[in-house]
Amino acid sequence: MPISLMENQRVQAFSNQVIQKGAVGDDVIELQSRLQYIGFYKGKIDGVFGWGTYWALRNFQNEFGLPIDGLAGAKTKEKLTKASKYDQQFVKNQMKSGNKFTHYGGVDQSKQSAPSPKAPANKAPATKPAPPQAAPKKPTAANTPAGFSQNDIRLMANAVHGESRGEPYIGQVAVAAVILNRVNSASFPSTVSGVIFEPGAFTAVADGQIWLTPNETAKKAVIDAINGWDPTGEALYYFNPDTATSGWIWGRPQIKRIGQHIFCK
């Protein structure tokens, strides 16, 4: 059989159904595997479409210019099959061997692994499998709402509202994501309040707009960012090119523009 035909059959393994949160089965296994192959999904490949799969899919859709709805429809599946590879037999064998298969793609298959069963006490342990190698890095976040206090969420909503209430929704999520990226960076304070109130960090703090009452959109944007949506590509800074007066900010490596803001490293 020609190689091209074999490859075509392999990438067409998805069924025609729209895959969405709560789904289970082979389609979800393939979805998780393909997302993991290109570095978006970091969790267990188990065939259960939970929150981890949902946010990984949304990050993929954002990066590949697709509608960001967390649904694996025809266009999303088509784009995903072009961007990734899926060896169904290999993945399922790994799942059966450990049922906690958490690394697929990016390296030779001998280095992609599931945990090996523990050796009996009276036998020598099996040869230790090669450690998983990092998949190609893609923007994603591991924070969950449980990792933040209500005060953190409220303060972030105040900052998002004060900084970006005139921006499109994705732009408000982006501002929240920058705050979280700073919290996770060694170059900034390690708390939400420390990041927001760092001297000179945010205009809304300087001009008092931080204390405006945030609307529900700002609160929702914060929750989306905490749950893993980072439209910025891991940006640490942003600025409005029409109003920026600092020459320093123009020298930062730019990632993308969202609404009126340019986001950069």
**What HEC string does 212-237 produce?**
CCCCHHHHHHHHHHHCCCCCCCCCCE
Q: pLDDT exceeding 70 applies to what percent of the chain?
A: 77
| DSSP string for 96-115 | HHHS-----SSS-GGG---P
Of 68 and 109, which is predicted with more confidence? 68
Helix axes 216-226, 169-183, angle to 10 degrees: 50
Q: pLDDT tens across 116-148, in order? A: 444 444 444 444 444 444 444 433 333 345 578
Mean pLDDT for the stretch of residues 3-19: 59
Cβ neighbours of residue 27 closer than 8 Å, sequence gap 6 or more = 14, 15, 17, 19, 72
CB 64 within 8 A of CB 79: yes
Question: What average pLDDT does this structure show over 86-91?
Answer: 86
How high is the pLDDT of residue 112? Answer: 60
231: its two tokens:
């439209």
Q: What pLDDT score was predicted for residue 128?
A: 45
User: Using CA atoms in the order 228, 231, 237, 243, what is the torsion angle rounded to 10 degrees?
Assistant: -140
pLDDT at 83: 83
Mean pLDDT of the chain: 80
Mean pLDDT calculated for residue range 80-94: 85
pLDDT band at 52 (very low <50, low <70, confident <90, very high): confident
Paired with 237 in beta bridges are 264
